[in-house]
């Protein structure tokens, strides 16, 4: 296998006018070594085979650490003992170059999968990390007191803390796949990414051999409640909440929207399904303010306050400021579900038609959609809910 | 004033080999028009005077919206009614090119300040947005029930919600100032930013006339409790919590660290000082996992679990994986405090010596430091606290 992959690396070495590529990535190949590693190292440039570097937007803080002399740019990460605490089993979606295009399905197990290359001195970093934790949430404690949640000692511990597996996933974008998902050609995508970022990476235009980009954006976090091994077992039930970051509500409890209440409902539903032998998943995406950012979001809040906050103008107000109502690109969201091996969602805790359509159109079956419990809607968030229902969001 | 600034614009037009610059930025000038606008527009490239574009890392989602045809790249934002709901008064720090280097002090009031240029067709966007909100937090409701917080009807409403002013601040980096802050020369900073991001933005090296960068990283959010006008009034007391993002605790209540408990304590202290006529500030920075990102953080969690979680190895474990113990660059953090006009902090709700030293060395006086209340420390977070105390974090 090693010598095979080695010979393959020789064969795939790129022309001399692109000395920076010494391994190639064949997105969707069935084995990790056939697919090839994602190498974003800045230590040995001859080993690089991607645009950009690791860590999402935190690569920029890493650059500052090097600039200030605090970080040795030649540092070799010691990854011993960092391996995943549980295994996400490879499934057919990993081998389909169109099913997963925005993350590296092999990203959690690079130390094991690419050992032959790591031994040859290739610096290959995990883009996914899998750990376990206990969560302690006041709303869950209240639900236990109220009797709407029951302690079972396994999923929900005697002290009210929740046992979870959590997974951090850095973005790894396969540009031909992203373009196909967006329904455009690769060159148009490369041109737009170059021009609309202010010329972020010249390789978008001048090195078409580099097909993979590590974009400087936030990561995705997946919380799994119950047995992760059962996700791919279609005889077991699965509950999912796909949640897009809203710092103002998720952390600070702002009462103008329903984000944290719906997130908590997703966690409660996930606990319940796990307690009944199924699996609950909460996937958290760093897409603040519909991926338009918090500055735009606050500008829109002000326009809403000053013009009179009306449901029929809710989305329009965002479009006036940002030129688009929503930039979250939900068509990329199901990638993480396919990576996990999700085939059927029994209870989707979301009212968003964008999310629902993206999931169903990606080939995952959705049985029931769970609306936000009415008593969880803050008074000031009524406008948002009415606007969303009017815009085609799900309501019973 | 208009014609002056116009003539200045003519004079400062850059050589023909850099046609992209048509207004220059004179960081630290006393008036907005003398300082010059930050123009990151992608509509008229001749007007641009920065590296990169607006929206932090969300500029990339914007690019995808354009690529997919959902967003007209020529969209002109309609900013009517989006102006700040309160005024942050300019103060001497705004006019000191060394005090504020990572945000645009004029960023919230560009519509007013740069009206003459906007009338000339310059697309100038706010990089700061100021709004108001009510927060509803279960921990605060519990504190009210316990009697540790009292409803006053103004700061803390009868339903237990908290009235706040909140400010979203996108990063605007003045490279010569960032370099000086890091104690290196501008060219070394430019070289490191270019090389250590995998060649992000060739302008770092080939257009030294562009001194300002809009980096694709997360924003900062400031929550103000009580009267923001009193921040610069040194006869009034001020409480500050500077908090770096920890999504696992801030949102999900992970019990391995003390982040959310300390954030809540900062909010409670801010409510109390506001109720007694002072001002409370909570500044929230998107610096997940010590600005190393969540993937690195989870890798380190696994190493800690597998090697036996010991306080004396807490920071070492991070350094093994990341090459550095912390990448948060706290020396940039006080910028937001100087922008607000903070001169003295009566109660700093933080144990971090990095944060304390950065604040004091930037010329802000700190009277008392408030330790994390012992009863708020989750059992699993004892290792973190002991490690931090051993590493020089403040403890009474």
- Separation CA B377–CA A78 (nearest Å): 30
For A143-155, what is the mean pLDDT?
97
Tokens of B193: 């930013």
Q: Do B42 and A78 touch (CB under 8 A)?
A: no
Task: Please name which of B296, B338, B309, B293 lies closest in space to residue B104, comparing C-alpha atoms.
Answer: B338
Q: Do B324 and A135 touch (CB under 8 A)?
A: no
Buried b (16+ CB within 10 A) or exposed e, A99-126: bbbbbbbbbbbbbebbebbbeeebbbbb
Give the pLDDT score at B28.
96
Give the pLDDT score at A309.
83
- Nearest neighbour of B256 by CB, restricted to A62, A133, A221: A133
Give the pLDDT score at B393.
87
pLDDT at B20 over 70: no
pLDDT band for position A114 (cuts 50, 70, 90): very high
Mean pLDDT of chain A, nearest integer: 92
Give the pLDDT score at A390.
86
pLDDT at A13 over 50: no
pLDDT at A52 over 90: yes
Task: Please name which of B342, B295, B350, B296 lies closest in space to residue B323, comparing C-alpha atoms.
Answer: B296
A270-298: pLDDT as tens digits: 999 999 999 999 999 999 999 999 999 99
Residue B249, SS3 per DSSP: helix
**pTM of the predicted protein model:** 0.94
pLDDT band for position A249 (cuts 50, 70, 90): very high
Q: Do A61 and B217 touch (CB under 8 A)?
A: yes
Q: Do A81 and B40 touch (CB under 8 A)?
A: no
Give the pLDDT score at B340.
98
- Separation CA B103–CA B93 (nearest Å): 12
B252-299: pLDDT as tens digits: 999 999 999 999 999 999 999 999 999 999 999 999 999 999 999 999
Choose the weakest-confidence range: A28-42, A108-122, A306-320, B255-269: A306-320
User: Chain B interface, mutation test: which of A318, A323, A378, most B Cβ atoms within 10 Å?
Assistant: A323
Give the pLDDT score at A368.
97
- Nearest neighbour of A192 by CB, restricted to B67, B251, B293: B67
pLDDT at B363 over 80: yes
Residue of B nearest to A243 (CA): B251
Q: Burial level of B147, CB count in 10 A (0-12/13-18/19+)?
A: exposed
- Separation CA A39–CA A21 (nearest Å): 10
A252-267: pLDDT as tens digits: 999 999 999 999 999 9
- Nearest neighbour of B82 by CB, restricted to A48, A53, A321: A321
- Tell me if ipTM is over 0.85: yes
Task: Identify the residue with better confidence: B325 or B5.
Answer: B325
Residues 6+ apart with CB under 8 A from B338: B91, B93, B99, B100, B362, B364
pLDDT band for position B10 (cuts 50, 70, 90): very low
Question: Alpha carbon A8 to chain centroid distance?
Answer: 31
User: At what angle are helices A259-275 and A138-146 packed, to 10 degrees?
Assistant: 60
If phi over 0 gives left and psi between -120 and 50 gives alpha, with beta otherwise, what is residue B339?
alpha
Q: Which residue has the tokens 């009510």?
A: B134
Percent of chain A with pLDDT over 90: 85
Catalytic residue among A125, A241, A328, A347: A328
pLDDT band for position B391 (cuts 50, 70, 90): confident
Annotated active-site residue B328? The verdict is yes
Q: A158 vs chain B: nearest CA distance in angstroms?
A: 14
pLDDT at A35 over 80: yes
Give the pLDDT score at A14.
39
User: Chain A interface, mutation test: which of B219, B253, B375, most A Cβ atoms within 10 Å?
Assistant: B253
Give the pLDDT score at B386.
87
B32-73: pLDDT as tens digits: 999 999 999 999 999 999 999 999 999 999 999 999 999 999
Task: Identify the residue with better confidence: B394 or A107.
Answer: A107
Identity of the highest mean pLDDT range in A72-81, A98-107, B308-317, B381-390? A98-107
**Bridge partners, B169 (sequence order):** B128, B220
Q: Do A131 and B73 touch (CB under 8 A)?
A: no
pLDDT at B1 over 80: no
Query: Do B212 and B319 meet the contact criterion of CB atoms below 8 Å apart?
Result: no
CA distances A331 to A130, A156, B64, Å, are 24, 33, 11
Q: B302 vs chain A: nearest CA distance in angstroms?
A: 5
B215-235: pLDDT as tens digits: 999 999 999 999 999 999 999
Residue A280, SS3 per DSSP: strand
Residue A378, SS3 per DSSP: coil
B144-177: pLDDT as tens digits: 999 999 999 999 999 999 999 999 999 999 999 9
Task: Identify the residue with better confidence: A377 or A210.
Answer: A210
Give the pLDDT score at B264.
97
Annotated active-site residue A374? The verdict is no
How big is the A-B interface in CB pairs under 8 Å?
388
Choose the weakest-confidence range: A171-175, B12-16, B184-188: B12-16
Give the pLDDT score at B5.
35
A60-107: pLDDT as tens digits: 999 999 999 999 999 999 999 999 999 999 999 999 999 999 999 999
Cα R_g (chain A), whole angstroms? 22
- Separation CA B207–CA B210 (nearest Å): 6
Give the pLDDT score at B394.
86
Give the pLDDT score at B381.
86
Q: Do A329 and B64 touch (CB under 8 A)?
A: yes
Which residues of chain A does B268 touch, with a Cβ-Cβ cutoff of 8 Å? Answer: none
For A173-199, what is the mean pLDDT?
98
- Nearest neighbour of A201 by CB, restricted to B127, B168, B200: B200
pLDDT at B389 over 70: yes
Q: Do A287 and B61 touch (CB under 8 A)?
A: yes
Which residues of chain A does B295 touch, with a Cβ-Cβ cutoff of 8 Å? Answer: 55, 126-129, 168-170, 219
- Separation CA A25–CA A264 (nearest Å): 40
Query: Do A103 and A127 meet the contact criterion of CB atoms below 8 Å apart?
Result: yes
Residue of A nearest to B324 (CA): A71
pLDDT at B349 over 80: yes
Which residues of chain A does B65 touch, with a Cβ-Cβ cutoff of 8 Å? Answer: 323-324, 327, 329
Q: B314 vs chain A: nearest CA distance in angstroms?
A: 14
């Amino acid at each position: 296998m090693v010598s095979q992959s080695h010979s393959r690396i020789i064969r795939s070495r790129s022309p001399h006018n692109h000395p920076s590529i010494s391994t190639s990535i064949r997105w969707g190949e069935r084995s990790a070594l056939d697919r090839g590693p994602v190498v974003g190292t800045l230590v040995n440039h001859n080993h690089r085979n991607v645009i950009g570097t690791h860590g999402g937007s935190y690569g920029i803080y890493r650059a500052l650490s090097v600039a200030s002399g605090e970080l040795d740019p030649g540092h070799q990460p010691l990854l011993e003992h960092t391996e995943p605490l549980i295994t996400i089993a490879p499934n057919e979606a990993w081998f389909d170059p169109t099913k997963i295009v925005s993350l590296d399905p092999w990203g959690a197990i690079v130390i094991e999968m690419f050992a032959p290359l790591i031994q040859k001195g290739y610096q290959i970093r995990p883009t996914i990390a899998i750990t376990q934790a206990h969560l302690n949430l006041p709303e869950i404690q209240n639900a236990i007191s109220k009797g709407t949640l029951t302690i079972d000692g396994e999923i929900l511990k005697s002290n009210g803390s929740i046992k979870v597996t959590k997974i951090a996933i850095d973005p790894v974008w396969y540009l031909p796949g992203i373009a196909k998902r967006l329904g455009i050609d690769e060159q148009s995508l490369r041109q737009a990414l170059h021009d609309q970022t202010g010329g972020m990476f010249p390789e978008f235009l001048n090195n078409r051999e580099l097909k993979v980009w590590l974009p400087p954006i936030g990561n995705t976090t997946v919380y799994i409640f119950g047995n992760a091994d059962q996700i791919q077992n279609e005889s077991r039930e699965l509950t999912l909440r796909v949640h897009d970051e809203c710092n103002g509500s998720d952390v600070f409890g702002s009462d103008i929207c329903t984000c944290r209440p719906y997130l908590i409902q997703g966690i409660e539903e996930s606990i319940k399904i796990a307690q009944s032998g199924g699996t609950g998943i909460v996937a958290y995406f760093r897409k603040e303010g519909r991926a338009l950012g918090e500055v735009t979001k606050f500008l829109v809040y002000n326009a809403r306050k000053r013009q009179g906050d009306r449901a029929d103008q809710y989305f329009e107000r965002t479009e006036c400021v940002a030129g688009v109502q929503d930039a979250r690109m939900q068509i990329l969201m199901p990638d993480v579900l396919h990576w996990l091996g999700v085939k059927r969602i029994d209870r989707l805790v979301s009212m968003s038609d964008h999310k629902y359509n993206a999931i169903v159109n990606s080939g995952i079956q959705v049985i029931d959609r769970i609306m936000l419990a009415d008593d969880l809607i803050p008074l000031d968030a009524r406008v948002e809910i009415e606007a969303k229902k009017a815009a085609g969001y799900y309501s019973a």
